[in-house]
């Protein structure tokens, strides 16, 4: 197997007297969906925040490509091709999908108008529609604000925005939470299409059916550490839950 896109080793993070991460390890490879699972309090969210630059670890290292760092900032993470979609999606509800796609990265018009700060809405809409088509995201009315769209469509816009700017990795935090059956299927299909672009997709989810349906590998956390690496097609949901809870903790590490 090729070298991982990202490899974290020995990540430690505390909040006061609470040790959230106790030497946690993690890896993600190009063109795979790896699920990060664990019970509440296992350290998943803290690990993702450390790997996306939101919090600074107290110890450990993060290797991305040929760079090994002790911590990241959000700006550095983005420059290294890492994007994160949190549960709140961070969309601007009054803007249309294309404007959200370029949020914070707006295209300016050419010439004097661009230097004066005028935005090229037509170019953003054209490029946005192309990205949505590439990823198979159906937007019925691209001029409508995202506040008028369904939860699944909003999730599609958020994932498309991450895919448009990520060159290495996308972290997805509970992307199917509160979605219906059809919307969940659409989001899982979107994740597969992003993976097929060669991007590493990290799925953080409590939904075992979603994890088993879409992931290639599963990394299990318990009490702030990685306790198992599993190949999805070789395990059952019961075995994953056993690793999460510590029952039959020696489920092993799959190659």
pLDDT tens sequence across 13-33: 999 999 999 999 999 999 999
Query: Which domains are seen in the chain, by residue range?
Result: 6-91+164-251 (3.40.50.300)
The order of strands in the sheet holding 6-15 is: 18-28, 6-15, 59-64, 67-69
Task: Look at residue 248 in the predicted model and tell me its pLDDT.
Answer: 61
- What gap in Å lies between CA 210 and CA 25, rounded to an integer? 23
Q: Which residues of the chain have pLDDT under 50?
A: 249-255
- What gap in Å lies between CA 124 and CA 69, rounded to an integer? 34
- What gap in Å lies between CA 199 and CA 169, rounded to an integer? 6
Picking from 70, 73, 77, the residue whose alpha carbon sits closest to that of residue 10 is 70
> Is residue 144 within 8 Å of 154, Cβ to Cβ?
no
Beta bridge partners of 19: 14
- What gap in Å lies between CA 77 and CA 41, rounded to an integer? 24
Beta bridge partners of 200: 169
- pTM for the model stands at 0.88
Beta bridge partners of 93: none
- What gap in Å lies between CA 154 and CA 91, rounded to an integer? 8
Task: Look at residue 138 in the predicted model and tell me its pLDDT.
Answer: 85
**HSE-up of residue 131 (Cα within 13 Å, Cβ side):** 25
**φ, ψ of residue 129 in degrees (nearest 5):** -65, -35
């Amino acid at each position: 197997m090729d070298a991982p896109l990202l490899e974290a080793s020995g990540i430690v993070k505390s909040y006061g007297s609470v040790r959230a991460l106790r030497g946690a390890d993690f890896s993600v490879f190009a063109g795979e969906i790896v699920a990060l699972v664990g019970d509440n309090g296992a350290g998943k969210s803290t690990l993702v925040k450390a790997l996306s630059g939101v919090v600074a670890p107290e110890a450990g290292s993060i290797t991305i490509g040929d760079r090994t760092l002790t911590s990241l900032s959000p700006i550095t993470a983005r420059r290294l091709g890492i994007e994160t979609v949190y549960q709140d999606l961070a969309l601007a509800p009054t803007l249309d999908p294309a404007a959200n796609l370029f949020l914070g990265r707006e295209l300016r018009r050419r010439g004097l108008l661009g230097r004066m700060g005028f935005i090229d809405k037509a170019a953003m809409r054209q490029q946005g529609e192309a990205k949505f088509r590439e990823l198979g995201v159906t937007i019925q009315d691209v001029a409508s604000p995202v506040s008028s769209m369904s939860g699944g469509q909003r999730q599609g816009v958020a994932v498309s925005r991450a895919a448009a700017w990520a060159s290495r990795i996308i972290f997805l935090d509970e992307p199917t939470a509160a979605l219906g059956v059809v919307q969940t299927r659409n989001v899982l299909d979107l994740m597969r299409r992003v993976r097929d672009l060669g991007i590493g997709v990290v799925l953080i989810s409590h939904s075992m059916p979603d994890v088993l349906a879409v992931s290639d590998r599963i990394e299990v956390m318990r009490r702030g550490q990685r306790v198992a690496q599993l190949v999805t097609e070789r395990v059952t949901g019961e075995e994953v839950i056993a690793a999460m809870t510590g029952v039959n903790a020696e489920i092993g590490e799959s190659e």
